[in-house]
Every structure is written in C-alpha cells, then in structure tokens.
C-alpha cells in the first residue's frame, strides 16, 4: 500500500462471538471511566510516519452545536438586501479587507492570528447527518434524522486517541460537557471514546467525577487493594487460543485508571481553581469560558484532543436577540484562548478550531406562531475558524456569493476539512484499516487537505 502502515487484517483480529458483540457496542460507549475502559482492544497499530508540514501536537475543537450562522459571525454581507443582511453591522479586522460581525470585536483585533474558511459545504441539512459528516469526514450511510446520535465512522477525536497517547495515565480524548452526536469511536472500540467531563468547571468546588478516590477510602487502603489485585492476577488463567483473554486485556485499562487517580501530574491538570482570578475572568466566568480554560490546561498536560460541545446555536427564531447576548461572551472566550496559548508558546503546536454542522439560510424567515425572525438550516455555506498548529494567520480561504447563499470560490468538502486536521497532527488521512467485521474502510475517502492552512 505504497509504504502506508499496515492495519490489522481480519485474520489478525481476536474476534469471537463474545468480543464481536462487545466491539459492536463501541459506538454507543462514552462518558465515564467505566465507559472508557469497557471494551476489548481491536489491535495495535504503529504510529504512521510524520507527514510533511506536521506542526500540531494537540487540537481544541469548539463545536457550536445547532449550526452557527455564517452571516452573523464570520461571513457578513453588509451590501446585501435587508432580508439577507440582517440587523448586525460588519466591522473591519486587523487584516485589511477582512470583516466580521460587530459583536466579535476581540476576535477582530487578533484576526492576524487565525484563518477563516468560508467555503466548506455539503448536502446534509439536518443536525444528525451534518454532525456526523463534519465530525468524521464521512457522510452517513443511511438517511439520518435531526435528533439522531449516529456513529458509522470514527470521530476525529477517537482517531487521534487511537494514534496518540497522553502522559500520566490520562485519556487522549476529552469532551466537555458531553460527547457530540457523532463524537464516538465507532468500530475503534470504547477505549477510544472521549472521557466526558460533565461537571461545570465554573461551579464552586469543581471536581471531576471518577478522578478522585471514593469517600472513605484513603490512599494507603486504595494502594493495598491494588496490591491484592495484582497478587491475585498471578494465579494461572485459562487461555483461549482463539480469543484474547478479556481479563488480561482489562489489566491495561485498570492500570490506566489507577494512574489517572493516583498520579499528581494528572490530578493537577484539573485543578482549575489554582488559576489566577484575572485569567479566569479573562476567559469568562461561565461554562464555555471555564471549559476553554480547562481545555488549555489539558493540552498543557499533554492531552492531544479536547472537544468543547457548546449547544444552543440553532436559531430558527429571534436570532438577533439571542446572538446579541451570546456573541460577546463567545468572542471573549475564543479570543482569550488563542491569545493565552500564543503567550504561553503553545499556539504553534495547538490547533483551535471553531465550527458547527452547517450554516444558516441566507434569507430571514419567521416561523408560524413566532414574531421575531430567524434562519433555518443551510449546508451550502458555513464558516470555520482555524488557528494554531502552524496555520498561517490572516488568511481567508474561499468565499460565498454576494448573498451568502453558496460557496463559490475554492469550494471545499468536510473531507478536506477533516483531512487538514489529521495532516497537521501527523496522521495520514489516506490510510485504510479493516474493521472488526473484516470490512475495509478508508479514514477519509478524499484525503486532500486544505493546503492554505498547512503553512
């Protein structure tokens, strides 16, 4: 296969009826430590050779669930008719000729530190299908409804977790405060599902469930229990030559869980209360702001992929009233995250990506029973903010037509977007692998990255 790493063939996989059933549930698993360590590993694969231009070691993906409007954020149309232009004005940025929404002044000031992609489009106009396509780079195999949580293909975070590790026993893939609709591992198995931090880091006394010893168990007692388990593990086990011993396989997961609970370096990553008040205020004392700060701490600790799943961007009505309240906080948080990473010397190796499943309709409309206008789902146009990991700042890739109706210059696909993420992380988007069912699957069908973002 042209020098690409050999993925395990069907004959290599230790799949019995029992393990096959467990692996088949992989796409549904996720969340706590139990979900993370619950399934048998399908096989080990060596990391691929670094790709030319690899710069990033980590990615913070800010997912705006619901479909953020491109017209009221990163692709305004100030010359369009009122029914398209809307109520917000466009303002200039630090990059001459580039304008964004008036409610994003902090991002306007640092436009020379990130790129905007305005021409990604696809044909999946509902939440479930659009989420799957943008999260995996693979269109859903069958029609998918708006409320669906589907996993026909591994998400970017799960693939990164399969290819990369984090130090100190930490999971390689986190998601806050929940997993996205298609953020799971599919056939890669639940070991590569995200560790979900559901708790609000802005809450007083914040602590992460499953990352502390249970009440009433002191460290010495916990260690004694681990010693006892290891002593019992020395007993002979029945070895089925046709299948991996599930008890032996779970040893690795228990060991990782033990390190996560007991390693000081892992514990310190979650101690957001040690951050100076000025830093916490700069990020914003709300859920999004403090999750972005926690994401920075996780990246500092060596975690390669963190998703922030920020819901509530489906503005079918009162889009201007809702965004006038929401965009200033979003603006402050994302601008602070990029600036903070830059000042700490982390932006060069950390991608920050902001997107949702699609954009919004160019023409405003009022739903029956409503009095204030909104915009509906629109997959023919969307905008993506892309910073860090060697991404050239101040670049605008592609364009939509004068009404924001469709991508018309440098038209790109979700496959191009996902391939860019993998390429910048040194993962070959064109590699293929064999699923536990023995079926071949390419990581991305079209592994062509967006060259303007590679630097």
Strand, coil or helix: what is 249? helix
pTM exceeds cut of 0.95: no
- Whether residue 127 contacts residue 181, with contact meaning beta carbons closer than 8 Å, is answered with yes
Task: Using the CB atoms, write b or e for 267-288: b if 16+ within 10 Å.
Answer: bebbebeebeeeebebbbeebb
Of the candidates 172, 155, 136, the residue with the CA atom closest to the CA atom of residue 304: 172
| Kind plus residue range of the DSSP H or E element containing 114 | strand 114-117
Burial of 373 from C-beta contacts in 10 A (0-12 / 13-18 / 19+): buried
CA distance 185 to 176: 16
What local confidence, expressed as pLDDT, does residue 434 receive? 87
Question: How far, in whole angstroms, is CA 447 from its chain's centroid?
Answer: 19
Of the candidates 65, 340, 39, the residue with the CA atom closest to the CA atom of residue 175: 65
Of the candidates 392, 395, 394, 389, the residue with the CA atom closest to the CA atom of residue 425: 389
pLDDT in tens, the chain (455 residues): 444 433 333 333 333 333 332 333 333 333 333 333 333 333 334 444 556 657 899 999 999 999 999 999 999 999 999 999 999 999 999 999 999 999 999 999 999 999 999 999 999 999 999 999 999 999 988 777 787 788 899 999 999 999 999 998 899 999 999 999 999 999 998 889 999 999 999 999 898 876 655 555 555 554 554 555 555 555 555 444 434 444 443 454 555 566 676 678 888 999 999 999 999 999 999 999 999 999 999 999 999 999 999 999 999 999 999 999 999 999 999 999 999 999 999 999 999 999 999 999 999 999 999 999 999 999 999 999 999 999 999 999 999 999 999 999 999 999 999 999 999 999 999 998 888 888 899 999 999 999 999 98
**Helices H, strands E: what count in the chain?**
13, 16
Residue appearing with tokens 């995250």: 337
Torsion-angle region of 2 (φ positive above 0: left; ψ -120 to 50: alpha; else: beta)? left
What local confidence, expressed as pLDDT, does residue 218 receive? 55
What local confidence, expressed as pLDDT, does residue 151 receive? 86
What local confidence, expressed as pLDDT, does residue 258 receive? 63
Of the candidates 321, 387, 357, the residue with the CA atom closest to the CA atom of residue 70: 357
What local confidence, expressed as pLDDT, does residue 243 receive? 40
Distance of CA 442 to CAs 7, 172, 392, Å?
A: 11, 22, 29
Max intra-chain CA distance, the chain: 77
What local confidence, expressed as pLDDT, does residue 209 receive? 72
User: What does the block give as tokens for 333?
Assistant: 């948080």
Torsion-angle region of 240 (φ positive above 0: left; ψ -120 to 50: alpha; else: beta)? beta
- Whether residue 360 contacts residue 71, with contact meaning beta carbons closer than 8 Å, is answered with yes
CA distance 324 to 117: 23
Question: Is the omega angle on the peptide bond into residue 432 within 30 degrees of 0, that is, cis?
Answer: no
Q: Parallel, antiparallel, or unpaired for β 173-176 and 305-310?
A: parallel
Of the candidates 66, 73, 65, 70, the residue with the CA atom closest to the CA atom of residue 327: 73
Q: Parallel, antiparallel, or unpaired for β 350-355 and 384-387?
A: antiparallel
Name every residue whose Cβ is closer than 8 Å to that of residue 314 and which is 6 or more positions away in sequence.
65, 66, 67, 127
What local confidence, expressed as pLDDT, does residue 17 receive? 32
Helical H segments across 263-357, by residue range: 264-269, 277-283, 287-300, 319-343
User: What does the block give as tokens for 368?
Assistant: 């029956």
Strand-pair partners of 352? 60, 387
Q: 10-453 maps to which CATH number?
A: 3.40.720.10
Distance of CA 391 to CAs 15, 149, 388, Å?
A: 41, 31, 5
What local confidence, expressed as pLDDT, does residue 8 receive? 35
What local confidence, expressed as pLDDT, does residue 51 receive? 65
Give the domain ranges of the chain. 10-453
């Amino acid at each position: 296969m042209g020098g690409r790493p050999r993925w395990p063939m069907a004959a290599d996989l230790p799949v019995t009826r029992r393990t096959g059933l467990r692996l088949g549930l992989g796409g549904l698993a996720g969340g706590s430590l139990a979900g993370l360590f619950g399934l048998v590993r399908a096989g080990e694969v060596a990391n691929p050779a670094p790709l030319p231009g690899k710069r990033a070691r980590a990615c913070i993906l800010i997912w705006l669930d619901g479909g953020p409007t491109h017209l009221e954020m990163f692709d305004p149309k100030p010359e369009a008719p009122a029914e398209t232009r809307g109520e917000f004005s466009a303002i200039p940025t630090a990059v001459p000729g580039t304008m964004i929404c008036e409610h994003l002044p902090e991002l306007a000031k640092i436009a020379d530190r990130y790129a905007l992609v305005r021409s990604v489009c696809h044909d999946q106009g509902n939440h479930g299908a659009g989420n799957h396509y943008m999260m995996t780079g693979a269109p859903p195999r069958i029609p998918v409804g708006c409320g669906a949580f589907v996993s026909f293909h591994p998400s970017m975070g799960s693939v990164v977790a399969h290819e990369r590790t984090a130090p100190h026993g930490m999971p390689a893939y986190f998601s806050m405060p929940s997993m996205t609709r298609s953020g799971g591992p599919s056939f890669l198995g639940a070991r590569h599902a995200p560790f979900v931090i559901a708790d609000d880091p802005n809450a007083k006394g914040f602590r992460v469930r499953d990352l502390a010893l249970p009440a009433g168990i002191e460290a010495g007692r916990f260690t004694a229990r681990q010693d006892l388990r290891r002593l019992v593990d020395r007993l002979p086990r029945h070895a089925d030559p046709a299948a991996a011993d599930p008890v032996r396989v779970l040893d690795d997961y228990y060991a990782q869980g033990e390190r996560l609970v007991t390693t000081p370096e892992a514990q310190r990553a979650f101690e957001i209360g040690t951050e100076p008040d000025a830093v916490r205020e700069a990020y914003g004392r709300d859920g999004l702001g403090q999750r972005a700060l926690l994401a920075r701490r996780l990246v500092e600790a060596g975690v390669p992929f963190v998703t922030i799943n920020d819901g509530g961007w489906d503005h079918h009505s009162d889009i201007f009233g809702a965004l006038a309240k929401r965009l200033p906080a979003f603006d402050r948080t994302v601008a602070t995250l990029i600036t903070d990473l830059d000042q700490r010397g982390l932006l060069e190796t950390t991608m920050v990506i902001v997107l949702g499943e699609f954009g919004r309709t160019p023409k405003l409309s009022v739903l029956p029973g409503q009095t204030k206008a909104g915009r509906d789902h629109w997959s023919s146009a969307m905008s993506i903010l892309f910073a860090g990991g060697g991404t050239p700042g101040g670049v605008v890739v592609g364009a939509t037509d004068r009404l924001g109706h469709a991508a018309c210059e440098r038209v790109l696909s979700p496959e191009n977007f996902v391939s860019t993420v993998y390429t910048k992380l040194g993962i070959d988007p064109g590699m293929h692998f064999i699923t536990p069912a023995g079926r071949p699957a390419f990581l991305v069908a079209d592994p062509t990255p967006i060259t303007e973002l590679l630097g």
